[in-house]
Chains A and B, each alone.
Chain A
Amino acid sequence: MLSNLGEDKSIYLQISEMIEDEILRDIIKEEEQVPSTTELSKFYKINPATAGKGINLLVDKGIIYKKRGIGMFVQAGAKEQIMEARKTSFKETYLKKIISEAKLIGITKEDLKKLIDETSEV
């Protein structure tokens, strides 16, 4: 769990992404319980309504589900689903940034490909 939330995006989005990250990293496994709205709001000192909005976003996406009277649990297949969704947004969130920085400092497409090969060998 992140120790602090940032200011670069809405808090509820940060909450839902953080839980997704934990599922990707197997810190919360499928069919395991996720922290409750109250736990999240106390931990991060955020309004319970905001924490609830982050949780609901994951429910809407089908990543977590509610067990009545017990809490929220990770849906089977959630990890795969998150990976697929993140692959789609990878271009927008990461590649575009890298390419625009590369352009700015004069790294050519070929240089960039070479750099990626070199870096991923490490």
Chain B
Amino acid sequence: MSTLVGKNIVKRYGKDTVLKNVDINIETGKIYGLIGRNGAGKTTLLSILTAQNPASEGTVTLDGEPVWENEKSLSRICYSREISPVTMFGPNTYRVKDYLSTAKAFYVNWDEEYAKELIKLFNINIKKKINRLSKGMLSAVTIIIALASKAEITILDEPVAGLDVVAREQFYKLVIEEYAATGRTFIISTHIIEEAASLFEEVIMIDDGQIVVKENTEGLLARAYRISGEETLVDAAVKDLKVYHPESIGRNKVVTVLADEPIDSFSEDVMVEPVSLQNLFYAMSVDERKEA
């Protein structure tokens, strides 16, 4: 089994520190979900892990070898970034097929047949210029490149952002099919957590430049609860637990808790419900002070 390891990664842009001593181990053979609020550092982390962006401090290694300017390591990793319809020199007038042939030249395991299948599935006209593509089509092109790269570690940054519901479902199915058939590693960042949560064997939650959670998704949710009921009873039931996002309505209180271990039984005076990944993420991320 291979491992992609980031150690003590710090990234500064001027005075801003966007990644603060991040340690991360990506073991191959899993589908990872990367979630975090806008500006939390997701894209910066992914671009550093794939050597598209230098870290201010720290190292990234694949099987012990640094990935920076290491062609051998990098050809095993695909980071399919969102393609921009504009470039520094004006509209992006390259055609889809130009992007595909660049990818074909770069990724040693590129699967041309698979690429053709995907182009058909997503109904992409490869002769079209990038700046003439809709947002959904741009997303589809990045997905096609990521999947057809057949790279051992494939990273998709916000792949479903521009896609309609049919294409999103197609994407989730494609990832599962491909993962089931090959065991390739996928790291997928997304804001549409609800839809993708069950795809992720492990979830990585990043907040303010730090990794706050990296855990098996089922295991994480097994120790998360939403507790509600009369205020004093809820307070009593959760007094030794880490509480997130308390909300009150009348004499009622609702809190989200993340216990160290799954809890067999709570007091019968309160209502206990499971928490979805999206709601847990929300509860952990929402900043009370900013709430009106």
Contacts and interface: CB of A to CB of B under 8 A. Distances in A.
Contact of A9 (B30, B172, B199, B274): B274
B198 A50 contact: yes
Given A10-B218, A41-B176, A47 B169 contact: no
Interface residues of A, number: 19
B173 A47 contact: no
B274 A7 contact: yes
Interface in A24-69: 37-38, 41-42, 44-50, 53
Nearest to B194: A7
A44 B197 CA distance: 12
B180 A45 contact: no
A76 interface: no
A60 to B, nearest CB: 17
Contact of A47 (B177, B195, B199, B274): B199
Contacts of B201: 47, 49-50
A9 B169 CA distance: 23
Interface residues of B, number: 21
B221 A10 contact: yes
Contacts of A11: 198, 218
A42 B274 contact: no
B179 interface: yes
Determine the main DSSP class of A at the interface with B. Answer: helix
A8 interface: yes
Contacts of B177: 42
A42 B218 contact: no
Contacts of A50: 198, 201, 218
B276 interface: yes
B200 interface: yes
A42 B180 contact: yes
A9 B262 CA distance: 13
Contacts of B30: 49
B19 to A, nearest CB: 27
A95 interface: no
Interface string B263-281: 0000000000110100000
A12 interface: yes
Interface of B: 30-31, 169, 172-173, 176-177, 179-180, 195, 198-201, 217-218, 221-222, 273-274, 276
Interface of A: 5, 7-12, 37-38, 41-42, 44-50, 53
